Amino acid sequence: MTSSDTRTCVVFGAGEYYREIPSVPAGAFVVAADGGLDHAREFGVDVDVAVGDFDSIRGDRPQDDGRTVTLPPEKDDPDLLSALKIGWAHGARAFHIYGALGGRIDHTIANIQLMALLAERGGTGFLHGDGALVTAISDGALEFPAADAAHGGMVSVFSHSDVASDVSETGLKYEIAHVDMSDVRVNGLSNELVPGEPARIEVGRGTLVVTFPLSAPLPRVERFHDVEGDLGRLDTAVSPALVRRNGGHGRDNV
């Protein structure tokens, strides 16, 4: 099973954009997460839905015209997860997310976790960072076509699962075959693409987080079995865990 025919969702977050100009494919569904609406406006991109508590937006708050989902600041789901849920509900299974790396480290960690969530539910997400992309694969493979990528294009692989079983990396500078990786041992850092050579990263069981250079072609995603799942319903309620209101920021202010 591959992801070649899935609808794409482009998400604008409120974090760093570095030097990359976001690419919005024809027919893509576009969501702005909170202050990401400022960036979408700066790039001249019309959004299909804006979602958030809008505590980080600099420009005018979006009008409540049926394309705005306003969330309470004291919520459980971060704005990016709400954006992904909206895109998923509109049929997207491939997500390109800008402005979700850099800035607060807790948000960066949370956003990497969301890539693992997408992978485990049958979707694919790409976080666009400073010259690099972050994605995840669960019970499947990433196949990179051969390209004349600059020498030194780093590819790193980490286990998001307690144990990721039957991991293989072929076509890279360093190769492994059918090994186990764990979330407490770093043994997939700083591999490299080989110019002119296709590469493949696969995991038989478990979830891997993979980083690769922005200059590399996007990998083809293969899943070893069908996955039936979703990201859950859109939650617009105040967190039931809330016990104190202090008038400050909510749990998520991206």
Split at pLDDT 50, 70, 90, the class of 150 is: low
Mean pLDDT over residues 98-108, rounded? 92
- Read off the tokens for 36: 């990401």
Q: What is the pLDDT of residue 133?
A: 98
Q: Which CATH superfamily is domain 7-130 in?
A: Thiamin pyrophosphokinase, catalytic domain (3.40.50.10240)
pLDDT exceeds 70 at position 147: yes
Q: What is the pLDDT of residue 222?
A: 98
Distances in Å between the Cα of 172 and the Cα atoms of 47, 84, 196, 199, 248 are 38, 32, 11, 6, 48
Provide the 10 A C-beta neighbour count for residue 33: 34
Mean pLDDT over residues 203-213, rounded? 98
Rounded CA-CA distance 52/12 in Å is: 12
Of residues 121 and 74, more confidently modeled: 121
Any idea which of 33-42, 193-202, 205-214, 240-249 has the lowest mean pLDDT?
240-249
* 43-96 per-position pLDDT tens digit: 999 999 999 998 888 988 888 888 999 999 889 999 999 999 999 999 999 999
**Coil, strand, or helix at residue 47?**
coil
132-225 CATH pick, 3.40.50.10240, 3.40.50.620, 3.30.530.20, 3.40.50.12780: 3.40.50.10240
Q: What is the pLDDT of residue 253?
A: 47
Q: What is the pLDDT of residue 62?
A: 86
pLDDT exceeds 80 at position 10: yes
Mean pLDDT over residues 89-104, rounded? 95
Residue ranges matching CATH 3.40.50.10240 in the chain? 7-130, 132-225
Q: Report the chain's mean pLDDT, rounded to a whole number.
A: 92
* 108-117 per-position pLDDT tens digit: 999 999 999 9
Q: Provide the 8-state DSSP code for 120.
A: H
Q: What is the pLDDT of residue 152?
A: 55
CA-nearest of 62, 55, 114 to 248 is 55
